[in-house]
Homo-oligomer: A and B are copies of this chain.
Amino acid sequence: MLKGRHLIDPMDFTLEEFDEIFKLAQEIIKNPEEFSKVCEGKILATLFYEPSTRTRFSFEAAMMRLGGNVIGFSEPNSSSTAKGESIADTIRTVACYADAAVIRHPKEGAPKIASLYSSIPVINAGDGGHHHPTQTLTDLLTIVSKKGSLSNLTIGLCGDLKFGRTVHSLIKAMSRYENNKFILISPKELKVPDYITKEILEKNNIPYKEVEKIEDAMEELDILYMTRVQRERFFNEEDYIRLKDSFILDGEKMKLAKEDMIVLHPLPRVNEIAYEVDDDKRACYFPQAKYGMYVRMALIAKLLGVR
């Protein structure tokens, strides 16, 4: 039963609950008309204490395509926080006006705190380097829709695997399904942290290897998950410049991949995928954005209990 629940950490939901959401998302994709008024009269609050246009648009479009309304802010300075209000008070006030709230916050744990004081469902839309559960739902819905299953897959993850929270969440989520393998492609400086490799992969006997070149993994992959090297995660500009151009996907490297491999990316990209790859039918990062809207529609409908 998802009605009234919060979504803070992708692991908050069981596999069965994930499945329930994906099934509803796929129904919506098939027949969007049928769902176009299920949230009529309801209001979603989008509280973005840090700008993220893409994520905000995805949530707002999702709510509107369910027939609902949106209130919100997209910048921290227009919020009551400037007047010294706690997030506990903010959410209790917002709960007077809205039926559910989406929170993006630069501080880890802020959405969790909000959820503890909230009488309406709270959805974490990213809290610092911590969680971003609807990105994980987006990734999984894209995979299950494109590959037909979430099991028996070889998943390559490439780029900034140290700071990239979407990568960590995806590894954790895909580790819950059977018979998946991981190939971790990154420079030494940006390797997946130990708590993932040791405590999640090794502890659960999930096969993985670490390589330093896309070419060394390409042939085996069912999925290549590319990530942006985020400037804001680096301590100094020099390191950023030296590393950002490593691990760029281009048409040449795509020639090594399977015919039915899919390329994913949480977007925005800077230059880690060459534009020439966009026309390759295996490039799925824009369809992935669309799945992101559908999975949010399903999530909102479930948390509000209208489906």
Contacts and interface: CB of A to CB of B under 8 A. Distances in A.
Nearest to A77: B51
Contacts of A60: 71, 97
A292 B97 CA distance: 9
A57 interface: yes
Contact of A268 (B45, B75, B83): B83
Contacts of A270: 83-85
Contact of A97 (B58, B67, B71): B58
Interface core residue of A71, A90, A231 (most chain B CB under 10 Å): A71
A54 B293 contact: no
Given A41-B65, A83-B268, A268-B89, A51 B74 contact: no
A61 interface: yes
A73 interface: yes
Interface string A41-75: 10101000001111011101100110101010111
A64 B53 contact: no
Interface of A is mostly: helix
Interface string A21-54: 0000000000001001000010101000001111
Contacts of A92: 286, 289
B269 A85 contact: yes
Interface residues of A, number: 53
A14 interface: no
A102 interface: no
A269 B58 contact: no
B53 A78 contact: yes
Contacts of A290: 96
Given A85-B268, A268-B83, A268-B89, A78 B97 contact: no
Interface of A: 33, 36, 41, 43, 45, 51-54, 56-58, 60-61, 64-65, 67, 69, 71, 73-75, 77-80, 82-85, 88-90, 92-94, 96-98, 228, 230-231, 267-270, 275, 286-287, 289-290, 292-293
Minimum-distance CB pairs A-B, first 3: A85-B268, A61-B97, A96-B290
